[in-house]
C-alpha cells in the first residue's frame, strides 16, 4: 500500500477529528468547545481547540444545544415484511434526522423477531446502513401469539444482544405467561416491555372511551383496560422481583399506578409517546385515521397528567412508537384505518413544545428522558452516556431558534402518516453524530456517509 497523499491525509484527519465550537452541552448557559477524535469525546473546553489536529474539521455550533444522541426504546421499522411502508434504511434516516443515534426495533415484523436469526438480521442491517444503531426488541411469545415463550435466551446471547422483549401491539394478557416471562429474563438482565391493553375490555375499540366516543359512535378503549394490566403487572414484577417496562402509557390513572409502584420500590419504568404529550382525542372528530393510534389519544386531563408524570420522573422516558403505515391504510374511513403514527423526526420538537417551552423540563432533563434513561432501561452500553471526555461521541445538536412547519413530504420515512402536518414545532435538529461521524448536518442527511 502506498503512502497517502497529503489530500488524503487531510480528509482522513477531518474525518477522524471534529471540533465543535460554541456548543451548549445539556442546554447549559455557557457554550464550550468540544473535540471528537476517533469516535470518542477527546476534549471539552480550551484543550478542544488547542490540541486539535491542524486539519481537523471545525463546525461552528454557534450556541446551539448539545445533548447525548437520542435513544428510542420503541420504533417500528417494518423490515422484514413491510418494506413498502418502511425499511431499516429509511427508518434510520428518519431517526438520524430526529437526533437519534440508537433505536429499538419492535418485534412485530413479518416474520416476527422471535428467533436469534431474525434479530441478528435486523441488527446487521442496521450496522450496514450505519446511520443509527438498530437494537432489536425480541418477541416475548412465539409469533406474538401469547401462547408460549419465544427463545428469549437465544436472542439475548445472539450478536444482537437483545435485552428488551415485547409483544408490542399485543398485550401479554395471560397472567401466568407474563409472570414466567418476567422471571425468565432475570437470567440475562432483560426487561419485559408490556403493551398494556386488556384485550376483552377493548374488543373492537376505536378511540378513547368517554363522552366523545359516545357522541361519535366509535367503540371506546377505556382507560381501565390499560390501568388494570399495569396494576397487575407491577404486582407481578414485585412478586417475582423482576424488571418491568410499561410501553406508551396514556392515562392519568396509569401515571398514578406507576407513581405508587415506584414509591413501593417496584422495579418498573414507563414511557410516554410524543403524541400523547401533545394531541387529544378531539382529533377523532375529523374521522381521519391519521389520528388513530393505539393506545388512543386521550383527554386533555390525561395529557396534563402524563406531562406532569414525565416532569417528576414517574414516567422515565419519551419513546416514539414510530409506526409507519401505507397511504391506503390511512386514506379510508376511521374504522378501516390502521393504528399508528410517525414519530422519529418530530419527537424532539414535540417534547420541546410540550415540556421545555412551558417549563416542565430543562434541556438537561430532556437528555435524561430521551437518552440516558432509555439506554439504561435497554442496557445499551455505548449510548446514553454522559457528555464527558472518553465517552462515545454520540451527540445531537438542537437549534432552539429554528422552528419548522411539519410537512408530510419532509418525512424521510417511506410512509407519510405524521399527525403534526401544518403544526409548527419550536426547535429543529441541526446535526447528529454517531461515534464521531455526522449523520445529519444543517438539518439534512450528511453527504459524508457512504
Partner 1 sequence: MKHLLSAADLDREEALTLLDTAEELASVTDRAVKKLPTLRGRTVANLFFEDSTRTRLSFEAAAKRLSADVITFTAKGSSVSKGETLKDTALTLEAMGAQVIVLRHHASGAAQRLAESGWIGASVINAGDGTHEHPTQALLDAYTLRQHLRGGSGDLQGLRVVIVGDILHSRVARSDVALLTTLGARVTLVAPPTLVPVGVESWNCDVTFDFDDALSDADAVMMLRVQSERMNAAYFPSAHEYSRRYGLDSMRAAQLPDHAVVLHPGPMNRGMEITAEVADGHRALIVDQVANGVSVRMAVLYQVLSSEEGAA
Cis peptide before 295 (omega within 30 of 0): yes
Contacting residue, 45, 143, 199, 214, with partner 1 by CB under 8 A = 214
For the CA atoms of 267, 163, 181, 294, what is the dihedral angle to 10 degrees? 80
444, burial (CB in 10 Å: exposed 0-12, middle 13-18, buried 19+): exposed
Q: Which is nearer to partner 1, 45 or 214 (CB)?
A: 214
Query: What's the closest the beta carbon of residue 86 comes to partner 1, in angstroms?
Result: 21
Contacting residue, 212, 235, 283, 311, with partner 1 by CB under 8 A = 212
- 226 binding partner 1? (CB under 8 A): no
- 300 binding partner 1? (CB under 8 A): no
- 47 binding partner 1? (CB under 8 A): no
- Residue 105 · residue 122 · CB < 8 Å: yes
Query: What's the closest the beta carbon of residue 445 comes to partner 1, in angstroms?
Result: 32
- 386 binding partner 1? (CB under 8 A): no
- Decide if 133 is catalytic: no
Contacting residue, 215, 301, 304, 312, with partner 1 by CB under 8 A = 215
312, burial (CB in 10 Å: exposed 0-12, middle 13-18, buried 19+): exposed
> Which one from 33, 72, 167, 321 is the annotated catalytic residue?
321
- 213 binding partner 1? (CB under 8 A): yes
Q: In this chain, which stretch among 131-139, 208-216, 252-260, 352-360 interacts with partner 1, using CB under 8 A?
A: 208-216
Query: What's the closest the beta carbon of residue 289 comes to partner 1, in angstroms?
Result: 9
Q: In this chain, which stretch among 162-170, 206-214, 374-382, 387-395 interacts with partner 1, using CB under 8 A?
A: 206-214
- 199 binding partner 1? (CB under 8 A): no
CA gap 230, 242 in Å, rounded: 14
Q: Are strands 395-399 and 65-68 parallel, antiparallel or unpaired?
A: antiparallel
Query: What's the closest the beta carbon of residue 396 comes to partner 1, in angstroms?
Result: 37
Contacting residue, 146, 153, 210, 426, with partner 1 by CB under 8 A = 210
Cell numbers 409483544 correspond to 167
- Residue 341 · residue 418 · CB < 8 Å: yes
- 160 binding partner 1? (CB under 8 A): no
Q: Which is nearer to partner 1, 188 or 287 (CB)?
A: 287
- 220 binding partner 1? (CB under 8 A): yes
Contacting residue, 79, 167, 168, 209, with partner 1 by CB under 8 A = 209
38, burial (CB in 10 Å: exposed 0-12, middle 13-18, buried 19+): exposed
Interacting residues with partner 1 between 255 and 294 (CB under 8 A): 286-288
Q: Which is nearer to partner 1, 28 or 331 (CB)?
A: 331
Q: Which is nearer to partner 1, 261 or 284 (CB)?
A: 284
Residue 117 neighbours by CB under 8 Å, 6+ apart = none
Q: Which is nearer to partner 1, 50 or 203 (CB)?
A: 203
CA gap 76, 397 in Å, rounded: 24
Site string for partner 1, 310-349 (x = CB under 8 A): ------------------x--xxxxxx-------------
CA gap 12, 16 in Å, rounded: 6
* Strand, helix or coil for residue 144: helix
- 422 binding partner 1? (CB under 8 A): no
Nearest-CA neighbor of 99 among 353, 407, 366, 449?
A: 366
Q: Which is nearer to partner 1, 100 or 221 (CB)?
A: 221
SS3 content of the chain, % helix, strand, coil (to 5): 35, 20, 45
Residue 41 neighbours by CB under 8 Å, 6+ apart = 34, 35, 387, 388, 389, 390, 391, 392, 393
Query: What's the closest the beta carbon of residue 7 comes to partner 1, in angstroms?
Result: 55
Query: What's the closest the beta carbon of residue 214 comes to partner 1, in angstroms?
Result: 3
CA gap 210, 199 in Å, rounded: 18
Query: What's the closest the beta carbon of residue 333 comes to partner 1, in angstroms?
Result: 4
Q: Which is nearer to partner 1, 80 or 222 (CB)?
A: 222
- Residue 71 · residue 375 · CB < 8 Å: yes
Q: Which is nearer to partner 1, 4 or 214 (CB)?
A: 214
**CA separation (Å) from 426 to 96, 108, 269, 327, 412?**
18, 33, 28, 27, 19
Q: Which residues are near partner 1 by CB under 8 A?
A: 206, 209-220, 222, 286-288, 328, 331-336
Query: Annotated active-site positions, please?
Result: 321
Amino acid at each position: 500500500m502506498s503512502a497517502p497523499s497529503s489530500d488524503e491525509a487531510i480528509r482522513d484527519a477531518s474525518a477522524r477529528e471534529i471540533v465543535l465550537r460554541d456548543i451548549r452541552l445539556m442546554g447549559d448557559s455557557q457554550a464550550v468547545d468540544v473535540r471528537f477524535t476517533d469516535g470518542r469525546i477527546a476534549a471539552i473546553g480550551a484543550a478542544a481547540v488547542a490540541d486539535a489536529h491542524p486539519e481537523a474539521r471545525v463546525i461552528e455550533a454557534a450556541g446551539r444545544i448539545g445533548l447525548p444522541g437520542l435513544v428510542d426504546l420503541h420504533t417500528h421499522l417494518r423490515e422484514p415484511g413491510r418494506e413498502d411502508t418502511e425499511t431499516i434504511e429509511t427508518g434510520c434516516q428518519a431517526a438520524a434526522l430526529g437526533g437519534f443515534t440508537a433505536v429499538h426495533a419492535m418485534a412485530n415484523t413479518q416474520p416476527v423477531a422471535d428467533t436469534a436469526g431474525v434479530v441478528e438480521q435486523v441488527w446487521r442491517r442496521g450496522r450496514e446502513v450505519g446511520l443509527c444503531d438498530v437494537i432489536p426488541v425480541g418477541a416475548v411469545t412465539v409469533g406474538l401469539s401469547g401462547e408460549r415463550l419465544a427463545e428469549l435466551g437465544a436472542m439475548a446471547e445472539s450478536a444482537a444482544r437483545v435485552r428488551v422483549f415485547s409483544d408490542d401491539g399485543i398485550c401479554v394478557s395471560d397472567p401466568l405467561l407474563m409472570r414466567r416471562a418476567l422471571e425468565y429474563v432475570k437470567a440475562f438482565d432483560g426487561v419485559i416491555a408490556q403493551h398494556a391493553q386488556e384485550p376483552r375490555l377493548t374488543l373492537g375499540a376505536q378511540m378513547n372511551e368517554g363522552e366523545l366516543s359516545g357522541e361519535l359512535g366509535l367503540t371506546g378503549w377505556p382507560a381501565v383496560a390499560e390501568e388494570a394490566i399495569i396494576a397487575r403487572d407491577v404486582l407481578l414484577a414485585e412478586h417475582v422481583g423482576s424488571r418491568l417496562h410499561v410501553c406508551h402509557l396514556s392515562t392519568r390513572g396509569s401515571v398514578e399506578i406507576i407513581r405508587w409502584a415506584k414509591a413501593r420500590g417496584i422495579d418498573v419504568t414507563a414511557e410516554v409517546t410524543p403524541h400523547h404529550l401533545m394531541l387529544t382525542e378531539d382529533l377523532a372528530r375529523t374521522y381521519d385515521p391519521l389520528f388513530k393510534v393505539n393506545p388512543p389519544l386521550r383527554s386533555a386531563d390525561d395529557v396534563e397528567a402524563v406531562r406532569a408524570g414525565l416532569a417528576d420522573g414517574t414516567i422515565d422516558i419519551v419513546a416514539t412508537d414510530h409506526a409507519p403505515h401505507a397511504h391506503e391504510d390511512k386514506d379510508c374511513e376511521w374504522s378501516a384505518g390502521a393504528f399508528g403514527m410517525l414519530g422519529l423526526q418530530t419527537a424532539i420538537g414535540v417534547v420541546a413544545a410540550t415540556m421545555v417551552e412551558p417549563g416542565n423540563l430543562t434541556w438537561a432533563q430532556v437528555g435524561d428522558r430521551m437518552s440516558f434513561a432509555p439506554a439504561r432501561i435497554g442496557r445499551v452500553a455505548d449510548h446514553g452516556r454522559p457528555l464527558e471526555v472518553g465517552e462515545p461521541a454520540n451527540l445531537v445538536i438542537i437549534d432552539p431558534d429554528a422552528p419548522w412547519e411539519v410537512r408530510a413530504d419532509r418525512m424521510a420515512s417511506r410512509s407519510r402518516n405524521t399527525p403534526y402536518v401544518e403544526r409548527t414545532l419550536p426547535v429543529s435538529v441541526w446535526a447528529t453524530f454517531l461515534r464521531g461521524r455526522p449523520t445529519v448536518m444543517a438539518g439534512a442527511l450528511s453527504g459524508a456517509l457512504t
